[in-house]
């Protein structure tokens, strides 16, 4: 690889007059590391992010403590809703997005508090913080890990509701709304869960901290999904979708800026 690159460079310079001959070695040697140096931080950063997300996934695949309880919990939320609201066919249509999002949020909070609490109780959080990596890479790794869990729950829910509520929920746009809503939810959720693990009553504190912050996001997610399910024209849900994207960007930037202060010790 390097030899051919050098070869081509010297070939180009061979066309030009004599004095370039002397310049060739100093030009080639700094050029090669410069390219690598420009690339290295980006790839290394995302490799760390991927490693942390992958670590969470692998731990989960081996223990299955989180995903099973989250899936069972969502199934029970669906049951409770259909029992409590005594849903007939008409009522099911109007509440299905509400059920979807409430179940995603509740199951998601279960996963969030568990994911950070396990990290802290086993002492692995300290080890992660000691590692010579960017703190934000750690944060985005955890976010991606948690996001995957939430998306699995959402997928289970979509299948479950499609079957049990007899509705066609598998629309690409609805999936997009679910993805956008989950991104915002897990971003703030991971930030706040890493604070609530230090509190005395951490399991109760996380919902209290998280719900008021994500409710605005949830509101537009529910509105957008309802409108999409009803096959309403684009104007009905576009503003909500835009609001979701804006909220996601704000949450990502804000959490990125604030996470350092949460985990420093």
Partner 1 sequence: MTTYAEGRTRLLRNLTYAAAILFVLALLMDFFYVGPEAQQGEAQRIFYVHLGSFLGAFIGFTAAVVAGIRYLRSRDPKWDTLGLSSVEVGLGLSTITIVTGMFWAKPIWNVYWTWEPRLTSVTIMWLAYAAYMMLRAGIEDPERRRRFAAVYGIVAFSSVLFTVIIIRVRPDTIHPAIGPTQASPEGEFEITPRIRDTLFFNLFTFGVIAVTLIWYRIRLENLFLHIERRKMDLLSQEG
Q: Cβ closer to partner 1: 85 or 213? A: 213
CA 260 to chain centre: 18
Query: In angstroms, rounded to a whole number, what is the distance separating the alpha carbons of residues 131 and 135?
Result: 9
- Say how many Å lie between the first and final Cα of the chain, rounded: 45
Site for partner 1 in 197-216 (CB under 8 A): 198-202, 205, 208-209, 211-213, 215-216
Query: Minimal distance in Å, beta carbon 29 to partner 1?
Result: 43
As given in the structure block, the two tokens for residue 38 are: 């420009």
Q: Name which position in 42, 61, 172, 261 contacts partner 1 (CB under 8 A).
A: 261
If one asks whether residue 91 binds partner 1 (CB under 8 A), the answer comes out as: no
Q: Cβ closer to partner 1: 169 or 227? A: 227
If one asks whether residue 241 binds partner 1 (CB under 8 A), the answer comes out as: no
Query: Minimal distance in Å, beta carbon 265 to partner 1?
Result: 8
Nearest to 108 by CA among 75, 145, 149: 149
Q: Which stretch binds partner 1 (CB under 8 A): 4-12, 25-33, 146-154, 250-258?
A: 250-258
Nearest to 117 by CA among 190, 211, 207: 190
Using CB under 8 A as the binding criterion, the count of chain residues that bind partner 1 stands at: 28
Query: Minimal distance in Å, beta carbon 262 to partner 1?
Result: 6
Q: Name which position in 14, 159, 219, 232 contacts partner 1 (CB under 8 A).
A: 219
If one asks whether residue 250 binds partner 1 (CB under 8 A), the answer comes out as: yes
CA 186 to chain centre: 6
Long-range CB pairs of 46-49 (<8 Å, 24+ gap) are: 46/137, 48/133, 48/134, 48/137, 48/138, 48/141, 49/137, 49/140, 49/141, 49/144
Give the count of alpha carbons within 13 A of 249, CB side only.
Answer: 5
If one asks whether residue 68 binds partner 1 (CB under 8 A), the answer comes out as: no
Instruction: Report the sign of the C-alpha dihedral through residues 45, 48, 54, 56, in that order.
Output: negative
If one asks whether residue 233 binds partner 1 (CB under 8 A), the answer comes out as: no
If one asks whether residue 191 binds partner 1 (CB under 8 A), the answer comes out as: yes
Where does this chain bind partner 1 (CB under 8 A)? 188, 191-192, 195-196, 198-202, 205, 208-209, 211-213, 215-216, 219, 239, 243, 250, 254, 258, 261-262, 264-265
């Amino acid at each position: 690889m390097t030899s051919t690159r050098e070869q081509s460079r010297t070939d180009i310079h061979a066309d030009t007059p004599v004095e370039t001959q002397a310049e060739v070695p100093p030009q080639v040697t700094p050029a090669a590391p410069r390219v690598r140096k420009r690339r290295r931080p980006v790839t290394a950063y995302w490799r760390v992010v991927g490693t942390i997300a992958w670590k969470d996934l692998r731990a989960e695949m081996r223990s299955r403590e989180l995903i099973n309880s989250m899936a069972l919990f969502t199934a029970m939320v669906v049951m409770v809703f259909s029992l409590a609201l005594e849903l007939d066919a008409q009522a099911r249509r109007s509440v299905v997005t509400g059920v979807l999002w409430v179940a995603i949020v509740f199951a998601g909070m279960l996963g969030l508090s568990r994911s950070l609490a396990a990290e802290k109780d086993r002492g692995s959080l300290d080890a992660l913080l000691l590692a010579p990596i960017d703190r934000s890479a750690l944060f985005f790794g955890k976010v991606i890990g948690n996001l995957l869990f939430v998306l699995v729950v959402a997928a289970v829910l979509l299948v479950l509701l499609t079957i049990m509520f007899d509705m066609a929920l598998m629309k690409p746009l609805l999936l997009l709304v679910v993805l956008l809503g989950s991104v915002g939810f897990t971003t703030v959720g991971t930030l706040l869960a890493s604070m609530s693990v230090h509190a005395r009553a951490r399991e109760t504190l996380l919902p209290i901290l998280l719900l008021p912050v994500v409710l605005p996001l949830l509101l537009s997610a529910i509105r957008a999904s309802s409108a999409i399910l009803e096959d309403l024209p684009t104007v009905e849900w576009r503003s909500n979708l835009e609001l979701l994207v804006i909220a996601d960007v704000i949450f990502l930037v804000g959490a990125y800026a604030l996470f350092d202060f949460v985990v420093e010790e």
